[in-house]
Structure 1
Amino acid sequence: MLDVRRMLLLVEVAERGSLTAAADAAGVTPSAASQQMSRLEADLGQPLLHRLPRGVRLTDAGEALVARGRAIRRELRGADADLEALARLDRGTLRLGSFPTVSASLLPPALTRFARKHPSLHVKVHSGLLAHLLDRLDTGEIELAMLWDYEWNRVDDPSLIVRHLLDDPTVLVVPANSELLEAGEIGLTDLAEQQWIIRADNHPVAEVLRRSCRRAGFEPRIGYESHDYQEAQAMVAAGLGIAIAPRLAMTNRRSDVRLVRFATGVPAPIRRILLARPANRNPTPAAAAMAEILGAVAVKFADQNLNSTQFGTVRTPHQGR
C-alpha cells in the first residue's frame, strides 16, 4: 500500500524542484527526504525521479503519482478545515435523545438557547422509551440522551457517563374546585378512598402510583386509564378521579386543575432526570456545548419546582395520617 506521507513529500519535490527545498518545506533533512523517495520508488518498483546535477525531474510514473498526491492533499486540507469548523461549532449535527415529558418542558428552552448561541449547528432529537434511548446510545445513533430513573430502576451502566441534572418530584393533580385544596400538604393515607386516573400501557407513573399506595397500606381504585398527561388532566378536571404525575409533566398545566405537594415525609417517589453519554467516546464540541446548556436550564427548572406558582392555594395545614 502506498505511503501517503511519502506521496505528499513527492508533491513537494515536484512543486519546489529539488529534494533540498522539499525537505526544508517538510521539516526534515535532505538525506531523510532522499531516503523516503528511494523507499517510495522501491515500493512501486519503478523510478519516480530523474536526479539531475541541479534538481530533479519527474518520470511519467512520478507525474501520475503527483497528480494523485495533489488530490489527496486537497482532501486532507478539506478534512482539516471541516474539523476546525466543528471544533469552532460552525457546522455539524448533534444527535440527542429525549423522552416526552422532558421534550415538552426542559428541552425547548435548551434548544432555543443552543440555536441562538450556535446558529450553524443542527440538532436532531430522537424521542423514545428508556430502553430505546439506551440502545441508541450503545449503537452510536445518538451522542447524548436525556434519561430518567426511580430508586427501584436506577440507570447504573458502566458503559455510560451519567450526569444527574435535577430531581423531579411526584405531585398530586386535582380539580381546581377540589376540597383537597383545603387540606394543605396531603399524605397518601388521606387519599385511600379516592378514585384515580392512571396512565395506561404499563407506564412508569402507573407503577409509581401502585408502589406509593401499597406503601401507604391500600390499593388504588382506578377510574380511568389515560394515554398522555393532557388526557389525564382532562379526566381529573371532569371529576373522574385524581392523579399523580412527575412535576415536569405538569409544565403545561390546564387551568381547571391544580397541583398539590405531598406532605413532608410521605413516600412519594422522586424521579431523577439524567443526561448520559457513552463512556468509550469523547463528546464532540457540540455535545459538550449542549450538556453545558442543559445543565444551566435544569438549575432553573429545579428552582421552579421549589417555588412554583402552579400549586393550589391551601388554607389549613394538615399532616397525612
Structure 2
Amino acid sequence: MLADPRQLRLLALIERYGSLSGAADVLGLTPAAVTQQIAKAERDFRAPLVLRGPRGATLTTAGAVLAARGRVIDEETDRASAELAALLGHLSLRLRIGAFQAAALHLLPPALTALRHRHPDADLSVADLLSEHGVEEVTAGRLDMAVVATWDADVATPPHLSVRELLRDPLVVVLPDDHPLALQHPPQAPIGLERLRDEAWVTILAGHAARAQFDRITAAAGFTPKMRFQAGSYDVAQALVGTGIGVALVSRLALTGAPGTTHRALAPPAPHRRLHAVTPADTTLTPLVGEFLDLLQDVARDIGSTWD
C-alpha cells in the first residue's frame, strides 16, 4: 500500500514526545482525534503501531520503522519552511534594475540614493539595457524593473507586466555654439524645425526607433535632411556637432553639454520621447519594486519641472 505521509509524521511525533497528547498539541488536534488516526493507520498498515500505557505511549517495532521515515518528512518540512523564509526575506530586499544610458545617468542615482537610506541592506543591481530588450528581460525574470524609452509607439507588454510612464523627454536641436541660429535666438527662444531644412545633420543610425521618429518629423516639416554622419548614440552625435560638422536632434535628458555646442528648444508641437518603467504586475514578493517606482516618479517630476 502507499503510505500516507501524515500517518508517518504522526508516529514520529508520538515517538518524540512519548504521548498522544504531545503529538496532538503539535498538530493542533484533540487526543481523541489522534487516537482515531492511529486506529486508521493500524488498519491501513495491518499491524499494531502504538502501545499505550499509564506513562504515555511508545511505538511497536513496526511503528518505529514507519516513524523513522516520518522523522525525515518532519526534517524536510522544517528545511523547506526555513528555505522559503530565507528566499522571501531575500526577495523582499532584492531589486534588479535595467536602464538605458541617459536614464541610468540622470534618473536612477537620486532614486537609488533615497532607497539606500531607507533600506541599507537592500540587494541592488543595475544593468545597462537597450530599451528594445526591456520587456524581454522583465518577462524572463532576469530583471525586476526595466526603464525604457519609446518614440512613436507605446510599450507592448503581456498581461503579467505593468507599464508606468515616468517622463516626457522633449527633443532639442544641438548646434555648434557659433551657429548663426544660435546667435540669432537667445537660449529661451525655440526654433522651428523648418528653419533647419538646409543644415547638414548628424543623425541616429537607421533602424533605430529614434531615427524613425527623426525621418517622420522632418518629412512632416516639409524637407528631406542632408545627412552628414550617422551615430550610434546621442553622445557621439553631440561630440560631432561640436566639431562643426552639422546639427542634431537630441533628447533633453541626454544632453551632455559637449564642448563647442549649444542647444535650443523646438517650436511646438515639439517632438519627444517617453520614458517608462516596466515591472511585473504582481510585486508581492519584491516590495522594493513599488517603492523604487514611486521614488523614480518623484525624480522624473523634479527633472520635468526644471525643463518647464
Count of aligned positions: 299
Question: Cα 1:65–1:257, aligned 2, differ >3 Å: closer, same or farther?
Answer: same
Q: Quick one: which of 235, 238, 245 aligns to 1:230?
A: 235
Q: State the shift of 1:154 in Å.
A: 1.2
CA distance, structure 2, for counterparts of residue 45 and residue 179 of structure 1: 101
Is the aligned partner of 1:153 residue 2:142? Answer: no
* 8 Å contact from structure 2 (residues 88, 285) kept in 1: no
SS of corresponding position for 1:104: helix
Question: Cα 1:48–1:82, aligned 2, differ >3 Å: closer, same or farther?
Answer: farther
Q: Which residue of 2 aligns with 1:316?
A: none
CA distance, structure 2, for counterparts of residue 68 and residue 12 of structure 1: 12
Q: Which residue of 1 aligns with 2:133?
A: 132
User: What is the TM-score of this pair, normalised by structure 2?
Assistant: 0.84
Q: Which residue of 2 aligns with 1:71?
A: 75
Letter aligned with residue 298 of structure 1? A
Question: Cα 1:196–1:16, aligned 2, differ >3 Å: closer, same or farther?
Answer: same
Q: State the shift of 1:5 in Å.
A: 5.6
SS of corresponding position for 2:106: coil
Which is further off, 5-14 or 49-58?
Answer: 5-14
1:186-237 deviation line (CA, Å, top 9, x unaligned): 1111111111111125222222221111111001111111222222111111
CA distance, structure 2, for counterparts of residue 102 and residue 118 of structure 1: 22
Q: Which residue of 2 aligns with 1:248?
A: 253
Question: Cα 1:209–1:42, aligned 2, differ >3 Å: closer, same or farther?
Answer: farther
Letter aligned with residue 105 of structure 1? H
* 8 Å contact from structure 1 (residues 49, 62) kept in 2: no
Q: State the shift of 1:7 in Å.
A: 5.3
* 8 Å contact from structure 1 (residues 48, 61) kept in 2: no
CA distance, structure 2, for counterparts of residue 177 and residue 30 of structure 1: 93
Question: Cα 1:231–1:47, aligned 2, differ >3 Å: closer, same or farther?
Answer: farther
Q: State the shift of 1:281 in Å.
A: 6.4
Letter aligned with residue 35 of structure 2? S
Q: State the shift of 1:295 in Å.
A: 2.0
SS of corresponding position for 2:124: strand
Q: Which residue of 1 aligns with 2:194?
A: 189
Question: Cα 1:212–1:41, aligned 2, differ >3 Å: closer, same or farther?
Answer: farther
SS of corresponding position for 2:86: helix
Q: Which residue of 1 aligns with 2:280?
A: 278
Is the aligned partner of 1:218 residue 2:220? Answer: no
CA distance, structure 1, for counterparts of residue 118 and residue 191 of structure 2: 43
Q: State the shift of 1:136 in Å.
A: 2.0
Letter aligned with residue 153 of structure 1? A
Is the aligned partner of 1:103 residue 2:104? Answer: yes
* 8 Å contact from structure 1 (residues 14, 66) kept in 2: no
* 8 Å contact from structure 2 (residues 97, 145) kept in 1: yes
CA distance, structure 2, for counterparts of residue 130 and residue 39 of structure 1: 62
Gaps of 5+ in 1: 307-321
Gaps of 5+ in 2: none
